Amino acid sequence: MWPHESLELPTPATALEGRDTPIRISGVHYVNGRTMLPPFPEEYEEIVLGLGCFWGAERLFWEMPGVYVTAVGYAGGQTPNPTYEETCTGRTGHAEVVRVIFDPTEIGLPELLRAFWEAHDPTQGMRQGNDIGTQYRSVIYTTNELQRPLVDKSLQEYDQALQQQGMGNVTTEVAPLDAFYYAEEYHQQYLAKNPAGYCGLKGTGVACPVT
C-alpha cells in the first residue's frame, strides 16, 4: 500500500494503469472564456509549470498580461489520463501543473519564469510547505528546444541568488513535456470559482534576477 504522502516516484512497473479515455472537461476557461483545448494560435508558446498545489499556481499565471489561457492538469509521470485521487496516491508519478499559453510578443519566457521562481520554494524536493508528496514537486516542462537554454539560465541564476541568502539548492525537475493530462473540471480556475479557497503559494522572499 502506497502512502498518501509518497516521497518516491513510482517505476513503470509500480505505477497505476490509468486509462485510454481523457477526463472530459468543458474546455472553456472560466475567467476569460477562451478555449483551454488545442489547437492554440500558432504564434503563441506553451510552457508547463508545477509549483505545488495547482489552484493558486494557475491564478498566478492567468492574471499575468500576455498570458492567453491557462489550464491545470497532471504531467511528468507514468499513468495515462489520471484522476486527481490517483495522482494524490503518489502512484502516478505526475506533478500538479499549470499549462500556460502565452503571447511571446507581450510577455517573454524569462518573465514567466521569474514569477514561477518567486512564487514558491524550489528547494524543497517532494513538497511545498505543508503539502507533502511527489505531486507537489517543483517542475518545468518545456515544449520546444529554444526554451531549454532560457530555463537552465534562470535556474542557475536563481540557485545562486538562493545560496547567497543561505538557502538550499534548487531541486526543480526540468525536462521536455511528454504529455499533459487535463485535471477535472472543478479544478480548472478553482480560485475564481471559490475565491476563499486554499492557495498554497509561498515564496522564499528572494528576488529572481531576469537578464
Q: Point out the residues that are catalytic.
A: 53
**By C-alpha distance, which of 99, 97, 51, 70 is closest to 201?**
51
User: Which distant-in-sequence residues (6+ apart) come within 8 Å of 154 by Cβ?
Assistant: 110, 113, 114, 117, 208, 210
Element housing 71 (H / E) = strand 67-75
Q: Which residues pair with 49 in a beta bridge?
A: 98, 140
Cell of 204: 522564499
Amino acid 153 reads K
How far is Cα 129 from Cα 25, in angstroms, rounded to an integer? 30
Neighbours of 49 (CB within 10 A): 27
